[in-house]
Amino acid sequence: MAVPTQVYNLGNACKRFLFSAEVIGMLTLTIFENELTLFIGIRLLIETIAAGYFYLQCSDSAGEPVVEQEDHELSQLSFSSLRGDYEQFESQTPDRNECQECKIIQSYRTKHCSKCQKCIPKYDHHCFWIGGCVGELNHRMYWLFLFFQCLLCFDGLCQFKKQFPYYSTYDEEFGHDEYEYQYFIILLTAATSFGFGIFTGALLLYHTMLILTGKTTWEHTKRDKISYLNFYPRYYHPYNFGFIENIKITFFHKGLQSHWIPPPKDQIKEQCNIFDNKYYSCC
């Protein structure tokens, strides 16, 4: 399903803005840098290319909803076990939801995005910067974009900081700074770099926490409203398989989507989550 025109155009506008800002920053450093070495120039160029590449890769599809289920998976979703006095049955796996817009039974972790007008598997959030959603297949690209963009911003900021002494010379004859215009340009570009660095850095730390704990932004912020999570105890997350396995699932999925079949309720084990547990929560 094609992305709506309004979302597509906003994403393109954000791409033009971001690439323009990076080009202007590189030109400013090239023109005003007094200690620009070949090593620094190549390093900044590599960071710029990497950030731009992964940014464009983020715009690729987050994945399509899985609608076909194998027989043994369907059986896992529907079984019940006998409880108490054998007169009451309690489902051991949460029910799946039906999307009224797409007319499909959603697989677990799937959410309908009203802006993209389609269901997104392992939905994280809708990001206007990339002109679409962050989901199962492009979450790794989104994290890599944040990493290199944050690295580029703070690396560039350090280079700008080195230039302030060269352009803050006071001219006693004319009563003003000799390089007032150049100083203003460097200050403005450095401030922009700092702002983007703080923004992407905060997102980078947050999404690192999400990946390590096997969560998505939607699951972390809206847990109380998600039926398949409310089915389990408050501090249990059915898709947290440990740091190493969570990283492998996010970064090495080989373009394949999962059905995300949750474990039966009577087979869950206690989890150790250093970010969010019954004693404290970092977010």
Q: What is the mean pLDDT of residues 166-194?
A: 68
The pLDDT of residue 270 is above 90: no
pLDDT at 88: 40
Q: What is the mean pLDDT of residues 110-123?
A: 93
The pLDDT of residue 201 is above 50: yes
Cβ atoms of 18 and 55 closer than 8 Å: yes
Q: Which of the two residues, 281 and 233, has the higher pLDDT score?
A: 233
pLDDT at 83: 40
pLDDT at 89: 40
The pLDDT of residue 73 is above 50: no
pLDDT at 71: 38
Helix (H) or strand (E) holding 80: strand 80-83
pLDDT at 74: 43
Amino acid at 217: T
User: Over the chain, what is the mean pLDDT?
Assistant: 81
pLDDT at 273: 67
The pLDDT of residue 229 is above 50: yes
Binned at pLDDT 50, 70 and 90, residue 28 comes out as confident
Query: Which tens digit of pLDDT belongs to each residue from 7-23?
Result: 878 888 988 888 888 88
Taking residue 176's Cβ as centre, other Cβ atoms within 10 Å add up to 10
- What is d(CA 215, CA 207) in angstroms, rounded to the nearest whole number? 9
Answer left, alpha or beta for residue 53, where phi above 0 means left and psi between -120 and 50 means alpha.
alpha
Q: Which of the two residues, 86 and 187, has the higher pLDDT score?
A: 187
The pLDDT of residue 75 is above 50: no
Binned at pLDDT 50, 70 and 90, residue 202 comes out as very high
- What is d(CA 108, CA 95) in angstroms, rounded to the nearest whole number? 9
Binned at pLDDT 50, 70 and 90, residue 79 comes out as very low
- What is d(CA 102, CA 44) in angstroms, rounded to the nearest whole number? 44
The pLDDT of residue 52 is above 60: yes
For tokens 């949460």, what's the residue? 94
pTM of the model: 0.85
pLDDT at 70: 43
Q: What is the mean pLDDT of residues 73-86?
A: 42
Binned at pLDDT 50, 70 and 90, residue 62 comes out as confident
